[in-house]
Each structure stands twice: as structure tokens, then as C-alpha cells.
Chains A and B, each alone.
Chain A
Amino acid sequence: MAHGRTVVNDSRERRDIIVVGASAGGVEALTRLLARLPRTLPAAIAVVVHLSPTAESALPIVLGRATPLPVVAAANDLAFDLGRVYVAVPDHHVLLTDHVIGLKRDPKEHFHRPAVNPLFRSAARVYRERVVGVILSGAGFDGVLGAEAIKAAHGIVLAQDPAEARHASMPRTAITRNLVDAVLTLDELAAALPRLAVGETVGR
């Protein structure tokens, strides 16, 4: 799984549903990743970062300032469109249904709501092989079960290089369980996602 040598998306399918999970150290990683994405991207991005359920979140604003892409706070029944970034809000899991965002106060997972796994599972269920799951910096191992669902649906899972991640546990656990197609730095992720969105391979 060395950088640059792994070939991802040999089958050249469009991978235009990007779901990103992060926890501790994740805001910094997301800021860098989203900042390097192009202004127009034919992919929809949904982001879950672990948030306190009782604190106002400035995350949509913070990320909106960082990236040229339009960023919106996830809301119930909001259309899930290509070209935009949807950011989780406190106290709700983010669930994707067909082209629509759902917010649910289902039980917490890994002591968190929002949690990464419900987002990943719902993406895999609806969008199947179109899904790219991205696991960034984070303690614990939220996202691992969701990554399993994405792999079972023939989607792609990418992990931030644990050597670069401020908290390596989340990406490292996914890698250890053999769920990750490629381990990439944030800059490499930012280069790979637009290619995958239009059905190109990465790493060749």
C-alpha cells in the first residue's frame, strides 16, 4: 500500500459520492484537504467530524472559508447535489438517501452523534460502487465498520497517511483491517478525488 504505486479504480467507474470521516485532528486535516480541491468538482461530498452534541458548531463556516467549493450545513430533506460539501451538525447522524440528506437522532455510535459509521453505511447502501470513503485523523476507530460496508458495496476507501495524521488511530485501524485501497497524504487525496469522480484511475 505504498504511496503512488497502488492502482485505484482499475475498472474506471465514476466515484462521485465522497464521504469523509474525521475526529481528533480532523478539522485541521479537512481544512487542508478541502482547500486543495478545485472550485468545480463533479462529486458530492458529505463530511462527519465528531462534534459535541451540546455546543454550537462553526465547522460549516470554518470549512467554507477554507475551500473554493460551496459548503453547507447538513439539514433534513436537503438535496444532496454534486459540486457541494455537506457538513454534519451537532447531535444528529447524517444519513444519505437517494439524492437527499437525512438527519437522525439515532443512538450514538462510538459515544458520538454525529458518527462516521452511519454516514458511510447509508452511502454504501444507496450509492454502492460510486462511493469513496475517506478516513482522516482521529482517535478510536469510528469509520471502520462503515468502511467495511463501502468495500462490500464495491466502493473505494482511502485513508490519510497515519504518519501525517495528528491522531493516527482511525486511519491505522482501517488499514490494519485491510479495508483501505490506498494510503495517501492530504495533498495526494486532494489530487486523487477529482480523478476518481470522473472515472479515472489513480496511481498509474
Chain B
Amino acid sequence: MDAFPADIRSGDGEQRTGMICPDCSGSLVVRAIGDDVRDHARLVFKCRVGHAYGLEDLLVGKEEHIERTMWAAVFAYEEIAAILRDAARRDGRDADGIDDAHAQRRIERAEQIARGLRGLIDRDESIRLKNAADE
């Protein structure tokens, strides 16, 4: 997948990108502003409603998206396991549609994947941008 046209120049106007806005998930366009030769043109990404990002902002937004969605996946797996466990404790009431043996396999698999995802998150490391001051 191409994120944006890498050869874009300041006279080109807005170009479509293959990306979505970190704030509202609208589609992003990109344009280059400034002098292409002397100080390299800066990229500005903008969505339909007007959320605007520099390249570094966009990276930070995507890192935050990863953070949110990875934990969302962890808790979805952990909730599946918890729901199935609690359902089993209700002794078959409300649980007509759940096969016990299958539920047990699903619990084990979901917990295993949740642990694996937690390990992946732990081993990951977000982009580190230069020249940004400590808070």
C-alpha cells in the first residue's frame, strides 16, 4: 500500500493518499508547501473536515491508534474468555447455544492470544522523533 505520493512537489496541489485521519477516520489529502529545492517542501495532510497534520504529527497519531486498537484487541479476547467462564458457571441456564467442549477450547485459545498480544505490545517500540522537547 502506498501512503502518499513520495514525489509530490509544492506546485502539485492536493493529492489523494491511501490513509485515513487519526482523529475522525475521514480520508486524507496531502500537499507540499515551501521551496522544493532550498529547504525541501513540508508535507501537510488534511482530511475532509479540516484536521491537519505534519508528517511527524501523522506518525504520532498512528502510534496512538496502534496503542488504542492493540489494547482493544487484548480486552476483547479477555472478555470472550471471561464471558464463557461465567456462562459455564450458570449451569446451562441461558447457555443453550454454547457447546461446552468448544467453549473450553475457545477460552484457552483466547487467553493464549491475549497473553501473546500483551507480549507483542511489550516488545514493540513507538517511533522516536528528534528535536521534540521533553514535556
A interface residue numbers (CB < 8 A to B)? 23-24, 27, 49-59, 62, 90-91, 104-108
Contacts and interface: CB of A to CB of B under 8 A. Distances in A.
A105 B135 contact: no
B124 A105 contact: yes
B126 interface: yes
B49 to A, nearest CB: 24
A91 B134 CA distance: 13
Contact of A106 (B122, B127, B132, B133): B122
B94 interface: no
B135 A51 contact: yes
A107 B131 CA distance: 26
Contacts of A49: 134-135
Interface in B55-74: 59-60, 63, 67, 71
B18 to A, nearest CB: 22
A56 B128 contact: yes
B89 interface: no
Q: Which of A50, A62, A107 has the most CB of B within 10 A?
A: A107
Query: Which 8 A-B pairs rank lowest in CB-CB distance, beginning with the nearest?
Result: A55-B132, A105-B122, A54-B60, A56-B128, A91-B126, A54-B126, A55-B129, A53-B126
Contacts of B71: 107
Interface residues of B, number: 20
Nearest to B128: A56
B134 A58 contact: yes
Interface of B: 59-60, 63, 67, 71, 121-135
Nearest to A107: B71
Nearest to B59: A54
B128 A50 contact: no
B132 A52 contact: yes
A51 B127 contact: no
6 contacts: A27-B134, A53-B63, A54-B129, A56-B130, A62-B134, A106-B122
A106 B123 CA distance: 10
A55 B128 contact: yes
A52 B133 CA distance: 9
A91 B124 CA distance: 10
Nearest to A55: B132
B122 A24 contact: no
Contacts of B60: 54
A54 B134 contact: no
A104 B135 CA distance: 20
B134 A57 contact: yes
Q: Which of A24, A27, A53, A106 has the most CB of B within 10 A?
A: A53
A24 B133 CA distance: 13
Given A51-B134, A52-B135, A56-B131, 19 more contacts: A23-B135, A27-B134, A49-B135, A51-B135, A53-B63, A53-B126, A54-B60, A54-B63, A54-B127, A54-B128, A55-B128, A55-B129, A55-B132, A56-B130, A56-B132, A57-B134, A59-B134, A105-B123, A105-B125
